[in-house]
Amino acid sequence: MKLFKRFYPQNHIESAYDIAYDELFRQGFRGIIFDIDNTLVEHGAPANEAAVKLFAALKQIGYQTLVLSNNKEPRVKSFAEAVGTKYIHRAGKPKILNYRKAMEVIGTVPETTIFVGDQLFTDIWGANIAGINSYLVDRIGKKEEIQIVIKRYLEKPVLYYYKKSKRKIL
pLDDT for residue 144 = 66
Total-model pTM: 0.90
The DSSP result for 112-157, as a single string, is: GEEEEES-IIIIIHHHHHHT-EEEEE--S-S---HHHHHHHHHHHH
Residues 71, 145: Cα–Cα separation, whole Å: 12
Average pLDDT, integer, range 20-33:
98
Per-residue pLDDT for 110 more than 60? yes
Residue 163 pLDDT grade (very low, low, confident, very high; cuts 50, 70, 90): confident
Q: With beta carbons less than 8 A apart as the criterion, state whether 133 and 11 touch.
A: yes
Contacts of 52 (CB under 8 A, 6+ apart): 82, 83, 84
Tens digit of each residue's pLDDT (9 = 90 or more) over 29-65: 999 999 999 999 999 999 999 999 999 999 999 999 9
Q: With beta carbons less than 8 A apart as the criterion, state whether 117 and 124 touch.
A: yes
Average pLDDT, integer, range 129-148:
85
Q: Looking at 27-36, 73-82, 85-94, 152-161, which range is the least confident one?
A: 152-161
3-state SS class at 70? coil
Question: CB-based burial of residue 158 (10 Å sphere; 0-12 exposed, 13-18 middle, 19+ buried)?
Answer: buried
Tens digit of each residue's pLDDT (9 = 90 or more) over 116-137: 999 999 999 999 999 999 999 9
Query: Helix count (H) and strand count (E) of the chain?
Result: 6, 6
Residues 131, 110: Cα–Cα separation, whole Å: 5
Residue 42 backbone dihedrals phi, psi, to 5 degrees: -60, 155
pLDDT above 90 coverage of the chain, percent: 76
